[in-house]
Structure 1
Amino acid sequence: MNQIVDRVIKVSLVIMILISLLLSYKIWTKPANRSLSDKGKASSEEVLHTKKMTEVYVPTKLFYHQGKDDYVYSNKESTILDVNNKLSAFEFRNGKEIGSKKIEEALYTSDSFNLFFPEAFPLATYEEVYEMSLNIPSKMSDFVFNRIIFSLDKEKVYFVNHELNQGVEYDVSGDTQSIKHLLEDTKRNNYLPVSLTPDNVAGIYYLKEEVKLKTYSYIVATQSFTTFTKAFFNQPNDLYSNESDNLNVFNGEGESLTIQSSTGEVNYFGKLKTSKNAKGNNIYFDTFQYVENLGSTLGTLRFFDAKEGDIIYRNYIEGFPVFGKNMKGRLEVGVQNKNVFVRTNQETIQVPIPSDETVTLIPTAELMGNLAVAGVDLSLIDDAQISYEWQANLETKQVVDLVPTWYIKYQDNWYPASALIEQGGAK
């Protein structure tokens, strides 16, 4: 009798699981050729925590000059955000343009630090995002920067461009001591020794030693198409779909959303939303609206790259960017003639799975040597970045592996260092 009861329970559980999977499939895949109108009010579960620009337009690397030729690196997100937020609250005075000579002097100063943004963007945008009063010199109104140098000793801040040939210098006053305390907390920041010389490729700080990093595994969630229609569409109600292999949702206003069934890649097209930016059109504010409305759905997104009207936002894990195929770990927003194109992927990483596996990455100088030997033109390299590569898990599709990997920005595009070495730079 007990065996019969056990069998009934097991069969019932299997049936319940199958029904659950079937319902999930119906929700996440294409609806039939019909109206998708939802005129009811959003429930509390559907309300997203919208992101702030100060959570996305942030520096991602910190280099602390403890003394002469004694430089260390940290990507500790909490420290970098705290330092940047404290610095943005300072009083800035006497802004003036500086050239390469003054920048080089500031660059090698002891008792200072550098904050790096992944890509250059306008100083005026930084001022507006952080609600600062910089009084940018008039002839520098369009100046773009990707590095902040702060001399703790002289209490001067330098906003510097990638080429290290132009910047804006300020006298500042604020809580310098609290920043010093953050920087001197070596246990919190897990510093790695680095070197900086005029011979370094693209002005990159070189890691002196090999670094051992954990490989992470994450459970993957497949986001419903409604996540994207609510975040991207100007008119998210009265939607319709076409019968096809891929999900294709649209409305009468010319907006459309397509999800590729084979890859999960999401493509949206529509009219650009009216920006909340009071100072007029700004690609950084315009594109951020599509990040803001997704909230935490795609995890920790950071401003990562900008090119020809496109802004790229990328997932960050443990302070490192994530690279994956088919737009995984990435949100790209392009603006053209008041139209907007958004690309991402419906697969998102959710819950980390404990792992003891590690990967050892070689020092930067050795990496550059390997690239040169392979025939890569080092003068075409703009940056080098430790990253996490999104890889399929061999055991289950519900889990992905994030593997530490050197990535190189070569001719304005990012590649795994191994791919560049294999191709000899022929990209």
Structure 2
Amino acid sequence: MNYEKIKSIVLTVLVCISVFLTFNLWTYSPSYDTINSDGAYDVSVGEKLKDNELNTHLIKPFKLFYHGRDKTVGTTNQTEMDKVTEQLGKWSLFEIKNVSDEYSFQEINTLIQSEDKFELVFPDIVPLSVFSQGLNLEEKNVSTASFNRIIIDLNNVNRETGSIFFITVSDDKEEKAVYESQVSLASLDTFKRNFVQRALYNSVYREYIKQPINDRKTIFLPKDPEDYVSYYYYTELSSLEEYKQALFSDPNSVNMGSVDDLVTFMDVSSILTVDKNHNTFSFVNPSEEKDDGSSPAMLVQKSMEFVNDHGGWTDDYQLFSISPYENKIVYRLFLQNHPVFNDNGMAEVSQTWGQNGINKYNRPYFKLDFSFKDTAEVLLPSGSSVIYALNQVDGIDLDYVEDIAVGYKMTRDPNESRKLNFEPSWYYKYDGNWMRLSVDDKEGL
């Protein structure tokens, strides 16, 4: 083989190698690991609830009455109310229909309070479409229905089926809604055997008396005074860093500043303001303008899921108030079956929603850790004494009193920042706001 042939072969090989390398360079795609931006800041402050258990954990009645032949008995014991709602969830409810036009306001009161009725009272309106996730409700088209009372009617003489009523009566008596659902008599008979005797003879129930608040409204309050226990709890602070990771879209771009007991975290669109004195924070996203209003069902569902996404249900919080027109919702801390109140926002999780996301989010960033034996009993007066005390308060128009209940006043111990005091007291709902009623110097009876 001569020199020219060798040179031609070498040149051909080099050309082929060049073409091969050029092709690989053009078509090369590096094998990068996929980065999941959604999961990069998927943090959990506390334990997350299962999606199908959110409504049963967060939407509960806070009063239960049985209206018998000779008297009304009631309880605020959460275990007892859970037993009733558990039975309700096992029944097959069918033929639900809107019968609001068949009842006047007076007839609704008679329906609720007449003989052989169990009455479950909720703090505010509840969307039936959300609550029905825990019911065997055959008709699912209840998107606009809501209620603040459930009535189990045990008076079923000469009837083929029984009735369960979902009722809304506004405090100003301008709105009413009655939805009636059918249930088998066998289910109601079993319930009657199991619960009527408990209501009449179990110690967790006590007698309630109908008390007139004004010419248009009456309310059931305890007949006799009762002892309640004051509690003392230590708290455990949650991680502010985890809340920052959960609430900001890009936590790495957040700047921090502090002045005295106030700490701020800020990016280009949101600000998180921390009050270290009360262990609360306020997250505001001004770019998410407040919406003109949304359906109660949508507001409840997205508010439950938003907090649960970062494990924010750190204590026993329950749905307590909802304002669809303001797109605002409040979940209140409950202790020993009673709502907790605090003037500095330490006992509630509140949210205001915009068109596409959260606009404001206020809450404490601590959870109750453990209680200790340094407790004391407090004697709260009877319902009639409460009505008497209300009448003695200057500036109160009883037409604006919407509800009355026992609650706990939460205060921080002045000598120990981690220690919280919970003192039982009577509270009344006045023009949409819950106020503490001091009866120490107004007993009078």
TM-score (norm 1): 0.77
Structure 2 Cα separation of the partners of residues 194 and 212 of structure 1: 16
- Deviation, structure 1 residue 230: 4.8
Is 1:69–1:195's contact at 8 Å kept on the other side of the alignment?
A: no
In structure 2, the partner of 1:392 is: 412
| 2:23 counterpart residue number | none
Match of 1:401 in 2: 421
Counterpart mapping for 1:255-404 below 5 A: 255-270=270-285, 282-295=298-311, 298-307=314-323, 308-340=326-358, 341-375=360-394, 376-404=396-424
The residue aligned with 2:29 is none
SS in 1 for 2:130: helix
Give runs of aligned pairs for residues 27-426 of structure 1, distance below 5 A. Answer: 48-50=47-49, 52-65=54-67, 67-94=68-95, 95-98=97-100, 99-100=103-104, 101-128=106-133, 130=135, 132-134=137-139, 142-154=144-156, 155-163=162-170, 165-173=176-184, 175-177=187-189, 179-180=191-192, 181-182=194-195, 184-185=197-198, 190-196=204-210, 202-233=217-248, 235=249, 237-245=251-259, 246-251=262-267, 254-270=269-285, 282-295=298-311, 298-307=314-323, 308-340=326-358, 341-375=360-394, 376-418=396-438
Q: What is the distance in 2 between the residues matched to 1:41 and 1:296?
A: 15
The number of aligned residues is 372
Deviations 1:94-122 (A, max 9, x none): 32414135423322332221001111133
Q: Partners of 2:150 and 2:409 in 1: how far apart?
A: 28
> Could you tell me how far apart the structure 2 residues matched to 1:169 and 1:328 are?
39
Q: What's the RMSD between the two structures over aligned residues?
A: 3.3
Contact 2:408–2:423 (CA under 8 A) maintained in structure 1: yes
Q: 3-state SS of the aligned residue for 2:65?
A: strand
Give the match for residue 8 of structure 1.
none
- 8 Å contact 1:267–1:344 — kept in the other structure? yes
Percent of pairs identical after alignment? 20
Counterpart residue number, 1:30: none
Letter in 2 for 1:327: G
Deviation at 1:400, TM superposition (A): 1.0
Amino acid at match of 1:56: L
**Secondary structure at 1:58's aligned position in 2?**
coil
Whole-Å separation in 1 of the counterparts to 2:46 and 2:363 = 21
Distance 2:332 2:218 in 1: 23
1:241–1:247 CA contact under 8 A, matched in 2: no
For residue 313 of structure 1, report the CA deviation from its aligned partner.
0.2
Measure the CA separation in 2 of the matches of 1:213 and 1:281.
Answer: 35
Q: Secondary structure of the residue that 2:137 maps to in structure 1?
A: coil
Task: State whether residues 248 and 256 of structure 1, in contact with CA within 8 Å, keep that contact through their aligned partners in structure 2.
Answer: yes
Contact 1:145 1:161 in 2 (8 A): yes
Name the CA shift for 1:47/1:416 in 2 (closer, same or farther; >3 Å): closer
The structure-2 alpha-carbon separation of the partners of 1:301 and 1:199, relative to structure 1 and needing over 3 Å to count, comes to: closer
Q: Give yes or no for contact 2:228–2:377 (8 Å, CA) kept in 1.
A: yes
Answer yes or no: is the 8 Å Cα contact 1:388–1:403 preserved in 2.
yes
Note the alpha carbon deviations across 1:290-328, whole angstroms, 9 max, x for none: 332354753101000112211000110111011113211
Q: Offset of 1:247 from its aligned partner? A: 2.6
| 2:33 aligned residue | none
Partners of 2:436 and 2:117 lie apart in 1 by: 32
- How many Å apart are 1:167 and its aligned residue? 1.1
TM-score (norm 2): 0.74
Q: Counterparts of 1:227 and 1:370 in 2: how far apart (Å)?
A: 46
Alignment check: 8 A CA contact 1:79 1:189 kept:
no
Structure 1 residue 249: Cα displacement: 2.6
| 1:301–1:316 CA contact under 8 A, matched in 2 | yes
Q: Deviations over 1:231-253 (max 9, x none)?
A: 544x365352223223323456x
Q: CA separation in 1, counterparts of 2:56 and 2:196? A: 21
Give me the whole-angstrom Cα distance separating, in 2, the residues matched to 1:130 and 1:228.
Answer: 34
Unaligned 5+ segments in structure 2 are 1-36, 157-161, 289-294
Q: Is the 8 A contact 1:313 1:330 kept in 2?
A: yes
Larger radius of gyration: 2
Distance between the aligned counterparts of 1:296 and 1:78, measured in 2?
A: 23
Which consecutive unaligned segments of at least 5 residues does structure 1 have? 1-36, 273-278, 423-427
Counterpart of 1:110, as a letter, is E
What is the distance in 2 between the residues matched to 1:41 and 1:227?
9
